[in-house]
Structure 1
Amino acid sequence: MAEFLRARREALTPQDAGLPEYGRRRVKGLRREEVAMLAGMSGDYYVRLEQGRESNPSPRVVEAVARALGLDEEATEHLRRLVRPASRRRDDAEDRVSPQLLRLMDGWPASPAFVLGPALDILAANALATALHEGFASGNLARMVFTDPAGRTFYRDWERAARSCVAELRAAHGHDPESARVNRLVDELSSASPVFAGLWARHEVRSKTQGVKHLRHPRVGDLAVQFSSFTVNGAPHQQFVVYQAEPASATAAAFEWLRPPAARETERPPRARQAT
C-alpha cells in the first residue's frame, strides 16, 4: 500500500489536483501535505500511511485518499484490496481449465480464443490462437512482450502493449501479493528489462477488458484485432480472451488462412497491407 501511494502521488502534478504551483518544486509530483489537505486528514497521518506505519486505515480514509490522488474506480478497488488482508490462493489450482471452457474455445474455429492465468500464462488455447502466437518461444504474455525478440515486431504499438501488460500484472498482484508465480515473474522481468522495471514502479493498474490490438504476424502481415476479456466464474483468477476480426476484412482473410494450416501449406497467404 505504501509503495502504491507514493507512486500515485509522484505521478500527479499540482495542475492535475487543481492546486496552484509556485516556483520550482523539490519533490516529484504532489507533496505529502498537499495530498493530506485534499483528503481532509492530518499531514502526520498521511505520512504514516505512505511510510507503511499505518496499515489498517478505515474505509472512509481509503476513499478520501483515492479521491485526493484522482484514482479511477479500478485503481481505487486495487487500493481497497491492498488494505484488506490478502486471500491466499494456490498457484497450481490456477492451471486447471474446465473441460466445458475447452470445448467452448474449440467450437469457435474462426476466432482465436485462450485462457490466461494471473501471471499471464496462456493456460489453454484453441488452434487459431496457437497459430496466431506461433512465432513466440514462451507461452506467457509478459515474456512475449518484454523478453522475446518476436514481441517488438508482433505488437505494432509495442509501448502500449508494454504498459497494458504491466498494468494487468499489477492488478493480479494486488489480488494476491504473496503469489509465488507472479512474484517470480516480476523478479525475472525486472532483471531482464529496464522498461518493465520502470513501468512496474509506477503502480498503474488496468485489467484486460476490450479494445483493439494492432498486430503483425510473420506469415499473414498486419492484423487489426478486436478483443474481449471475461472473468471465468468457476475460476475467478482466470481470464477468457477472445479475438475477432471485422467481417470481410483483411484480418478475417488472414484468420481464415491461419485456421487450417495443414490444408493450406502450399498456398500463399493473403498479406494484409503493411502499415507505414
Structure 2
Amino acid sequence: MDSENPLGEFLRARRTLLRPEDIGLVVSGRRRVPGLRREEVAALADVSHDYYVRMEQGRERHPSAQVVEALARALELEPDAAEHLWRLARPHPAPSRSPAAHEQVSPTLLRMVTDWHRTPAVVLGSGLRVLAHNTLGQALFAGHAYSGDLLRMVFLDPDARDFYPDWEQVAANTVAGLRPADGGGHDDPALVRTVGELSLRSPEFRRLWARHDVRRKTHDSKRFRHPLVGELTLDYESLTVNSAPGQQLVVYQAAPGSASEQALTLLGSLAADGAHVEDREDRGPTPADPAQAGADPGPGDRASQV
C-alpha cells in the first residue's frame, strides 16, 4: 500500500502525470523529472514553494480549504480525484463497523436480484469481491480462476486478457475505482492486504496503483469474450447499497435487438439448463451454500452469496 503520507504521495503522483505543455508552460531544455516541478505546482496554486514541499513531505497534512481547492485546479483534477484530495487533506473519522456485517448481503437485496432473470447482477464488497449474484451474473463470470474476486481476476487470472478484449482499459478503471474505497485512511485491513498482494504479484497493478488515478465505478459499456457464447457488449450501472456502505450492486444489460442480447439470452438458457464452463484446479473462492452464508435459500435461481 502507500506510505503513511497519503496526501504527499497523491500530490507527487498527480504532478508527475501533468505535462507542462498541457497547462501552457513553455519548456526549454531537458527536464530532469517527468511532469511538473514542485515550484510550478506551487506557483499555479498560489502557495509558497516551501509550503508545497512541506505538504509533499508530510510535514503539512491539513491544508486549508482554499489551498485544497487551489491544488485541485492546479493539478486539473477530475471531480472524483478532487473529492479524493479533499478526503486526504481533511479526513473525517471513519465510522466503526463490523467487517462481517459489511460483507453480508441483505436477504431483501438477494430476493430482488433473484427476480432479474434476463439481467446479470452481482453485489460487490471491498476489493471487488463478489458477495452475491443471480444465476445470469454467475454465468457471466464463471469458469475462471478468480470468478468470485473480480480484482484478482483482472490481474492474476491467466484468461483475463482474453475474457476482457479491452483489458488495458478495464485494468486502469479497476484500479482507479479502488481509490474511493481506500480513501487514504487505510481502515480496511482486507483491502490493505489485497493491494499489498497484487503489488507484489502483478507489475501492471503496481504501475497503475502508483499513478493515483481516482475514478468511481458508475456506468459504462464493457466488452466480454465469453467461452460459451462469444463476444458480448454490455452496458452496466453501478449502484451503491445504502443499507451496507461499501457494497455495490452492478447490473448489466445488452442493447435491445443486438447480437449481444441474443448471446445473453443464450447464456441464460445454458445457465438454466445447468451448462457451465469447467473451472481449473487453481480456481479461487467458490460460491458457498446460501444457507451457510446466511441467505434465504429457495427454489430456482435463488441468488447466492459467495
TM-score of the aligned structures, taking structure 2 as reference length: 0.83
2:60 equivalent to 1:54: yes
3-state SS of paired residue (1:128): helix
Could you tell me which of 130, 142, 161 is aligned with 1:152? 161
Could you tell me which of 118, 123, 128 is aligned with 1:120? 128
Determine the C-alpha separation between the residues in 1 that align with 2:189 and 2:15.
Answer: 28
Cα distance change on mapping 1:89 and 1:199 into 2, 3 Å = farther
> How many Å apart are 1:69 and its aligned residue?
0.6
> How many Å apart are 1:256 and its aligned residue?
1.4
Q: Is the 8 A contact 2:42 2:52 kept in 1?
A: yes
Cα distance change on mapping 1:44 and 1:262 into 2, 3 Å = closer
- Write the deviation string for residues 113-164 of structure 1: whole angstroms up to 9, x where unpaired: 0111121111110000101111222211111100011211110100001101
Cα distance change on mapping 1:191 and 1:182 into 2, 3 Å = same
Aligned to 2:88: 82
Determine the C-alpha separation between the residues in 2 that align with 1:148 and 1:262.
Answer: 22
Q: Which has the higher contact order (CA 8 A, sep 6+)?
A: 2
Determine the C-alpha separation between the residues in 1 that align with 2:272 and 2:34.
Answer: 59
Cα distance change on mapping 1:87 and 1:190 into 2, 3 Å = same
Aligned to 1:41: 47
Aligned to 2:196: 187
* RMSD value, Cα: 1.5
Q: Which moved more, 1:93-102 or 1:217-226?
A: 93-102
Aligned to 1:73: 79
Q: Which moved more, 1:179-188 or 1:168-177?
A: 168-177
Could you tell me which of 226, 234, 243 is aligned with 2:235? 226
> How many Å apart are 1:96 and its aligned residue?
1.1
Could you tell me which of 21, 28, 35 is aligned with 2:27? 21
Q: Is the 8 A contact 1:223 1:251 kept in 2?
A: yes
Which blocks of at least 5 consecutive residues in structure 2 are unaligned? 1-6, 276-306
Cα distance change on mapping 1:42 and 1:107 into 2, 3 Å = same
Q: Which moved more, 1:34-43 or 1:17-26?
A: 17-26
Aligned to 2:38: 32
Cα distance change on mapping 1:200 and 1:134 into 2, 3 Å = same
Which residue type is aligned with residue 135 of structure 2?
A: A
Determine the C-alpha separation between the residues in 2 that align with 1:265 and 1:249.
Answer: 25
Could you tell me which of 175, 184, 207 is aligned with 1:198? 207
3-state SS of paired residue (1:111): coil
2:110 equivalent to 1:102: yes
Q: Which moved more, 1:38-47 or 1:170-179?
A: 170-179
> How many Å apart are 1:176 and its aligned residue?
4.2
Which blocks of at least 5 consecutive residues in structure 1 are unaligned? 267-276
> How many Å apart are 1:265 and its aligned residue?
6.3
Q: Which moved more, 1:117-126 or 1:38-47?
A: 117-126
Q: Which moved more, 1:89-98 or 1:111-120?
A: 89-98
2:167 equivalent to 1:161: no
Q: Is the 8 A contact 1:112 1:129 kept in 2?
A: yes
TM-score of the aligned structures, taking structure 1 as reference length: 0.92
Aligned to 1:10: 16
Q: Which moved more, 1:26-35 or 1:168-177?
A: 168-177
> How many Å apart are 1:231 and its aligned residue?
1.0
Q: Which moved more, 1:167-176 or 1:22-31?
A: 167-176
